[in-house]
Every structure is written in structure tokens, then in C-alpha cells.
Amino acid sequence: MTQESIDRRTFLGWIGRFSICALGVSLLPSCRGNALNGQNDTGSQNFYLANKTKIMKEIDDMCGYTRKVSSTMYGKEMADTLVLGTTQKFEDLLPDLPYIGGYTNNLTTNLYMGAAGLALYKTMLEQGKTLEETGEVLYRATEMQYGANPLGGMMTSMSVSDTTKTIISKEAERSQERMYTGDWVFNFIDGNGADFDYGIDYTECGICKFYQSQGAAELIPYMCMLDFPISKAANSGLVRTTTLGRGGPRCDFRYKIGRPVQMDWVPGFLKKG
């Protein structure tokens, strides 16, 4: 299989799903600067409902990994309860998601997968589980999903290609227009090849904004840490020292192929492991 033979939406969905990972930010050129000019956050609010069938298929795929992890942790009956509750609560959240450009903005996928994480969290709380337990289920499910994917090596080469860097740089410039209030805003940082290949500084985060609007800011750090199992799978060497989700001025993603990841925050369940 060659890089060119892979359907780009399939690949992009894989690298962007269930994460705010910078690798998934914008490998696909955006049309937000022209075709969508003039639309606001509520003008295309029905985007999510219009694409509900496709979106729910992605949520079902994600829940497959959630089910496997929670079955090991809590047993099959509880796993079934968590998956059912997550699906139902996600459907309730879907109409409330802010419009940020639809599929012309690859971060739309990150936003609704973040909503799925919130739906799981709400369900976990109802079942007497804790915030950290939710974080562990999310982490283990992401680790399982990305670790098992055969495209990891190809993801490594694409993540640092000149084409990728150029597109991310252009998307960073577009983000400064702040066309949608619920969107991400970020800067591209060119690397020197020694300390890091390239970086991205996020100064606004769509998932942070949505979680805060939903009264669930405490979940943000656990969503932020999902970037690391994805980086491990891609061998992209993510190092991060600060995040918006933990009160920092930005999220400073720095990538260098082949080096170990370095987490800015390590939750209790990983320290125990």
C-alpha cells in the first residue's frame, strides 16, 4: 500500500479522531477562507444533525474500544451500560456543538469526538465512577485504537513532510481570522531539525471552550493527554510543557521524529502503571 493509495478522509479521520493532536490539525486544505465566508457559529448549526449518520458511525467505532477497556476494568454489564449511556448523551450534545466550518475544517472531527469524551464522562459519573477513572478509560481506549492501526509508519512520514508543514502554516494564518468563536486559534512554529521538526502553539482551543460552556472544565486535562498515545503510535516525539487546559497561556506542541514523548502532566493511573 502506498501513501497515495489511501483515501485521504480515512487517513485524516484516523489521525484527528478523539484528540486535539496537532498532527490532525490540517493535512487537508481548508475552504474556510472563501466558500464559507460570512457564516457564523449558529448559521450552520444543523451541520451535525445533517451528518448525524456518518458521525454516529465514528462514535460507534470509538465506543468499540471503550467497551473493550471498560469490560476489562468493570465487567461486560457495566461496559454495555457505559457505551449505551455515552451514545445517548452524545446524541443529546450534538445539536449544542458550535459550527466551526464543517468538514472543510478538520478540527470539526476533533470537536465532536471531544463531545463523545464528555458524554462518556457524564455517563461514568452517573455510574459512580470518578474523573480519573474516566481519564483512564479514555487513555487506554485511545492507546488501543491507535496502537493497533497499521498506518502508524505512514503517519510518521506524513506528519513531518514539507507538504504537511506548509498546509499547517497556512491553516495557522487562517485561524487568526477567528471566523468562528468556537474554533481553535494557533501558530505554526518552524523547527530547526535539531531540537524539534516543527511545533504548533494553540492560543485558543475548541474543546476547552465547549467543555467550559458545559461546566466540565475538569475533564480538559484528560482529553489533552490523549495526544501522547497518538504521538507514540506515530513515533512523532511529542514534547509539551504547558496547556490551556491546565491554565497555561498556550499549548506548546513540539514534534521530533523518533524521540520519546514527554508529557506535561502525568495522571495518577499512569504513575501507578
Nearest to 108 by CA among 186, 211, 227, 26: 26
At residue 36, the 3 state secondary structure works out as coil
Q: Within 10 A of 158 (CB to CB), how many other CB atoms are there? A: 18
Residues 45-83 pLDDT 10s: 589 999 999 999 999 999 999 999 999 999 999 999 999
Sheet of 185-190, strand order: 185-190, 198-204, 251-255
End-to-end alpha carbon distance in the chain: 36
Stretch (H or E) spanning 251: strand 251-255
Note whether 19 and 3 are within 8 A (CB): no
What pLDDT shows up at residue 152?
59
What is the tens place of the pLDDT at every residue in 120-130?
A: 999 999 999 99
Q: What pTM was computed for the model? A: 0.85
Domain boundaries, position 151: 3-272
pLDDT at 174 over 80: yes
CB contact burial 2-37 (16+ within 10 A = b; e otherwise): eeeeeeeeebbbbbbbbbbbbbbbbbbebebeeebe
The set of cell numbers assigned to 49 is 444533525
pLDDT band at residue 211 under the 50/70/90 scheme: very high
Q: What distances in angstroms separate CA 68 from CA 21, 58, 112, 126, 199, one per listed residue?
A: 23, 16, 21, 20, 34
What is the band of 154 on the pLDDT scale with cuts at 50, 70, 90?
low
Q: Which residue has the higher pLDDT, 16 or 126?
A: 126
CB neighbours of residue 161 within 10 Å: 12
Structurally, how many domains does the chain consist of?
Answer: 1
User: For cell 495526544, what's the residue?
Assistant: 227
